[in-house]
Chain A
Amino acid sequence: MKSLNLKAALVSLLIFLALLGIWYTATQPAPGTPAASTAGLSAEQIEYQKMMGKDPGSTKTTGFPTLGQMGTAIWKQVSNPLYDNGPNDKGILIQLGHSLARVGLGFLLACAVAVPLGFVIGMSPLLRRALDPFIQVLKPISPLAWMPLALYTIKDSSISGIFVIFICSVWPMLINTAFGVASVKREWLNVASTLEVNPLRKAFQVILPAAAPTILTGMRISMGIAWLVIVAAEMLVGGTGIGYFVWNEWNNLSLTNVIFAILVIGIVGMLLDLAFAQLQKVVTYVE
């Protein structure tokens, strides 16, 4: 088992190096067409060439950053992650902090609504059927479609972002909680009944731990979706956050920073998912 992990890590490393290699060769200045010689051209002619976008003195590049440029950009961002030079120029950690705060707040609000409501839906077949059409219609709506409505009613772009996170994380949690609660084994409920356990204690000590793995799965899916949506939402509302950072750097035509942001988004998303995987392990039981 251990050797399998080791082998897998080695293969991963090789793939990573191969990708870097492809990037390196693809962004090399094309050989064979060395800088067009300026010899034999008068100063006016050179000036004219430059004006036409055919600078004979410069080397031709694809415009895509090279590995070296990428490395410098990453180092620049990582070495000074907390600087704040006004609204359009903040360090990566500050931007991440804004995004994570929005995601966290929206997600917690969604938990506060989805888990109790899911409990009730899971316990009551009547409510399950009554609310099902609403859930089925609301669930497939892209969370960004709510954005204009949110902006109009809330009149605050930052809170609108939080609302969008709330609305996208609420459905997986709601559906999973309801399903987990509804499929708690009959025998455990029978045990609770024969022991005359009161409803509150039954909810917290029997149904909740029994449904916890399913609920946590819902939360994990919700968190994944929330992290996908926050980038798009921040591109729309602007101001702060990792999504805004991407858009801003695109406007700056700084592809290195865009690529850096993409990496950061991926890594943070992975860490969030790992955190929920750990939580899931804690509540999972073997029958």
Chain B
Amino acid sequence: MQEFLKVERLGKAFSANRPVFADVSFSIGKGEFVCIIGHSGCGKTTILNVLAGLDSASAGHVFMDKREIGGPSLERGVVFQSHALMPWLTVRKNIAFAVVSRWPDWTAAQVNTHVEKFVAMVGLSAAIDKKPSQLSGGMKQRVGIARAFAIQPKMLLLDEPFGALDALTRGTIQDELMAIVRETQQTVFMITHDVDEAILLADRILLMSNGTDNDGVYAPGRIAEEVSNPLPRERTRAGLHHLPGYYELRNHIVDFLVTRAKAH
């Protein structure tokens, strides 16, 4: 697989001698879906923000398409945990805001067609002229996803997008997201807390450990292990637990989280 995103010895320190994480290196291939899993405070969101260009690292470099990431860019779409829709705009205008940012020269009609296409993609055509406050949590997150896809970025960054949703809604949107990603061949980097979500969606799972004190010696957080998902790519949420190898994979990740990741 062609190497698309490359993270080199990334580190972030808020106090100089106790970095939250250090020496984080990994790469993501084009069209690959990578999940990062770890306990709160290990620095997952910071890594994602650095990839998005919203935060800067204390050490290391990130390259996308062989060019260093120096700030936010339309090349990378972000879906925020809190959906981050603008409450004074309707669904249509929220997405149009992103579309106009991407293609400032488009006519209003072009923008509108494009917006309607992506709203239909997440199944919200009926609610297109509603304000976010009139939508349920799951619908808001769908709009957030549609907004990120609508600018047709080279890469998608998802910061725990389903964290605030109930299990049923989460399942439905996971299926939708997987279908869209498979269809568009999108490269995705996603943070999650949910082991099953990672196994369902990801081609590769990065397990991240927290910074720890061992006998007075501080070890910063790092990528402890990279796990390739051995399950067939055409898997479904309903059939996931019947696949051979599912339980081994799941147990491995849960064991890591319980014994090795060292939650605070």
Contact = CB atoms under 8 A, between A and B. Distances in A.
Contacts of B132: 287
Contacts, number: 61
B52 interface: yes
Contact of B54 (A194, A206, A209): A194
Contact residues on B (Cβ < 8 Å of other chain), bracket: 20 to 34
Interface in B124-168: 131-133, 151
A205 B86 CA distance: 10
Contacts of A285: 87-88, 131, 133
Contacts of A188: 84, 86
Interface string A163-187: 0000000000000000000000101
B72 interface: yes
B84 A191 contact: yes
A182 to B, nearest CB: 18
A196 B84 contact: no
B77 A194 contact: yes
B98 interface: yes
Interface residues of A: mostly helix, strand, loop or mixed? Answer: helix
A190 B101 contact: no
Contacts of A271: none
Interface residues of A, number: 19
A69 B97 CA distance: 63
B97 A193 contact: no
A196 B87 contact: no
Interface string B72-90: 1110111010101011110
Contacts of B84: 185, 187-188, 190-191
Given A187-B82, A194-B73, A195-B97, 14 more contacts: A187-B80, A190-B84, A191-B78, A193-B54, A193-B71, A194-B53, A195-B72, A196-B101, A205-B97, A209-B86, A212-B88, A285-B87, A285-B88, A286-B133
27 contacts: A185-B84, A187-B80, A187-B82, A188-B84, A190-B84, A191-B86, A193-B71, A194-B54, A194-B76, A195-B74, A195-B101, A195-B102, A195-B151, A196-B72, A196-B74, A196-B101, A197-B101, A205-B97, A209-B86, A210-B86, A283-B88, A285-B88, A285-B131, A286-B131, A287-B87, A287-B132, A287-B133
Q: What are the nearest 3 A-B pairs in CB distance? A: A187-B84, A286-B133, A195-B101
